Amino acid sequence: MLPPEQFSDRQIKAPTFGDFVEVAKREPEALFDIYIVPSIRPDERVSINGVHLPLENCGLIVQLLDKALDKPDEFDVYKKDGKWYMWLYWY
């Protein structure tokens, strides 16, 4: 449903949209912070700025950080329903 060029889009220094899609394929518990620009604007798009990942999948966290052009602007570690997560956010 998305144009192919969408997958190379990146918000500032975050990983690309495609990198985040790969995370979604590999981690069913991943949650994403998205930004939607509606079709009424000429710059219509869907962007991904951040991700929440289970800490137990630290290898995937490292891979995503390697895909970014710089470190996240914000990050946190938190516990939800007895499980630890890491939140990474670029703006």
Structural domain containing residue 48: 4-89
Q: Say what the pLDDT of residue 28 is.
A: 96
**What is this structure's pTM?**
0.91
Please name which of 89, 58, 67 lies closest in space to residue 7, comparing C-alpha atoms: 67
Band of pLDDT at residue 79, cut at 50, 70 and 90 = very high
Statement: residue 3 has pLDDT above 90: no
Band of pLDDT at residue 88, cut at 50, 70 and 90 = very high
Number of structural domains, the chain? Answer: 1
Full strand arrangement of the beta sheet holding 83-89: 31-37, 45-54, 83-89, 74-80
